[in-house]
């Protein structure tokens, strides 16, 4: 993944920081906002599963197939996660996905900003 590096990306509404184990407590708090793991139409980790989800995403990063980010809002508060996934290094292509946000930032400019970064 030499062309795809874990760097911080920032705009006026959002900051994407490379996912780390240090984010577990803040991401656990964010997922509780709206009880997102209970939504039937998506797959979002429960508070109890957050550590293992972070480990899973970091494992995929180490394998070269994902670049996961912790999303912070304009105030610097952790708001969720997003990733560059299904990395295709030969064609320098990624998909943006595996995204979830705390209820408090849904329907705001945060998601649009994250996708444009």
Tens digits of residue pLDDT in 4-42: 889 999 999 999 999 999 999 999 999 999 998 998 888
Domain contains 25:
yes
Domain contains 1:
no
Residues 6+ apart with CB under 8 A from 90: none
Which of 75, 78, 77, 72 has the alpha carbon at shortest distance from 117?
72
Q: What is the pLDDT of residues 77-95, one digit of tens each?
A: 999 999 999 999 889 999 9
Paired with 93 in beta bridges are 88
Domain contains 37:
yes
102 vs 4, higher pLDDT: 102
The two tokens of residue 15 are 């900051």
Q: Is the pLDDT of residue 1 over 70?
A: no
Domain contains 28:
yes
Domain contains 50:
yes
Whether this model's pTM surpasses 0.85: yes
CATH code, domain carrying 69: 3.40.630.30
Alpha carbon dihedral 69, 75, 76, 78, in 10-degree steps, equals: -60
Q: Is the pLDDT of residue 44 over 60?
A: yes
Q: DSSP string spanning 39-55? A: -TTS----GGGHHHHHH
Domain contains 4:
no
Specify the pLDDT at position 60: 95
Q: What is the number of domains present in the chain?
A: 1
Domain span at 73: 9-116
Q: In this structure, what are the phi and psi dihedrals at residue 92, rounded to the nearest 5 degrees?
A: 50, 55
Q: In this structure, what are the phi and psi dihedrals at residue 12, rounded to the nearest 5 degrees?
A: -65, -25
Return d(Cα 104, Cα 38) in angstroms, integer. 16
């Amino acid at each position: 993944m030499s062309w795809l590096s874990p760097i911080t990306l920032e705009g006026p509404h959002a900051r994407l920081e490379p996912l780390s184990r240090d984010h577990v407590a803040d991401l656990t708090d964010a997922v509780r906002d709206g009880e997102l793991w209970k939504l039937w139409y998506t797959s979002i980790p429960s508070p109890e599963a957050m550590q293992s989800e972070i480990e899973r995403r970091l494992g995929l990063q180490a394998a070269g197939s994902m670049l996961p980010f912790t999303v912070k809002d304009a105030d610097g508060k952790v708001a969720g996660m997003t990733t560059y996934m299904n990395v295709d290094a030969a064609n320098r292509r990624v998909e943006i996905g595996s995204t979830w946000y705390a209820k408090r930032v849904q329907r705001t400019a945060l998601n649009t900003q994250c996708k444009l970064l």
